[in-house]
């Protein structure tokens, strides 16, 4: 593992935890960040080279557009892709476990199995980051967004609750029908730290 480009997740700031608010005219809950998220965990479907390429594309986009975002990967993924990225990625260098207190937002690229696997990372934690899920063409019912929508979807989640100065630094996304990405995130629903998940949206 190339330690110059794969850094330990322990170096990151602690996570920023969002709040959830009722949306006017909707039964969904809207996410609001006290400040824009910075520590983003990307979880891919395993054994699918096209998904790995999409992960690289997504990582390059959020890092170049929303710096100083830090990209967090599972250790196996970090080992595989770090040498094609121009920036460091973060992971746990000594264990396959990822500390939830270092993760603001989880983004999954895959199907239902990928969402549930990402959710299981936080099964015993009181700190459970929301999950923004992109469907990668596999059959499933949990993934809300097509990967082709990733730029607009991530932007809305990132900007949710941001101050006006932050919003002005980025282009507005055209309005579309249906719930916004910030209303369609997955969160753990059991306050007793169940490993199951519930969707808002």
What pLDDT is stored for residue 21 in this prediction?
A: 83
Q: List the CATH code of the domain at 32-199.
A: 3.40.50.10330
Nearest to 118 by CA among 52, 20, 197: 197
Distance CA 134, CA 112 (A): 10
The model scores a pTM over 0.95: no
Q: List pLDDT tens digits, range 92-140.
A: 999 999 999 999 999 999 988 999 999 999 988 887 899 999 998 766 6
Q: List pLDDT tens digits, range 15-35.
A: 998 888 887 766 677 888 999
Domain ranges within the chain, ordered by starting residue: 32-199
Q: Which two tokens stand for residue 128?
A: 């459970």
Phi-psi region of 162 (alpha: psi -120 to 50; beta: other; left: phi over 0): beta
Distance CA 19, CA 173 (A): 22
Query: Which residues are 198's β-sheet partners?
Result: 187
Q: How many residues does the chain have?
A: 201
């Amino acid at each position: 593992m190339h330690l110059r480009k794969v850094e330990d997740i322990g170096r990151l700031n602690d996570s920023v935890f969002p709040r959830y608010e009722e949306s006017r005219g909707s039964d969904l809950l809207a996410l609001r960040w006290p400040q824009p998220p910075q520590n983003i965990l990307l979880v891919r479907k395993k054994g699918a080279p096209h998904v790995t390429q999409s992960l690289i594309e997504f990582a390059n986009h959020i890092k170049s557009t929303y710096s100083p975002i830090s990209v967090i990967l599972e250790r196996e993924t970090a080992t595989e892709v770090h040498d094609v990225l121009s920036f460091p990625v973060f992971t746990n260098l000594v264990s396959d476990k990822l500390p939830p207190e270092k993760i603001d937002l989880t983004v999954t690229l895959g199907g239902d199995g990928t969402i549930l696997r990402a959710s299981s990372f936080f099964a015993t934690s009181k700190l459970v980051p929301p999950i923004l899920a992109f469907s990668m063409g596999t059959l499933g019912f949990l993934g809300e967004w097509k990967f082709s929508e990733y730029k607009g979807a991530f932007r809305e989640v990132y900007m949710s609750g941001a101050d006006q100065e932050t919003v002005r630094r980025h282009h507005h996304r055209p309005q579309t029908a249906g719930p916004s990405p910030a209303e369609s995130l997955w969160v753990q629903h059991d306050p007793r730290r169940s490993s199951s998940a519930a969707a808002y949206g």
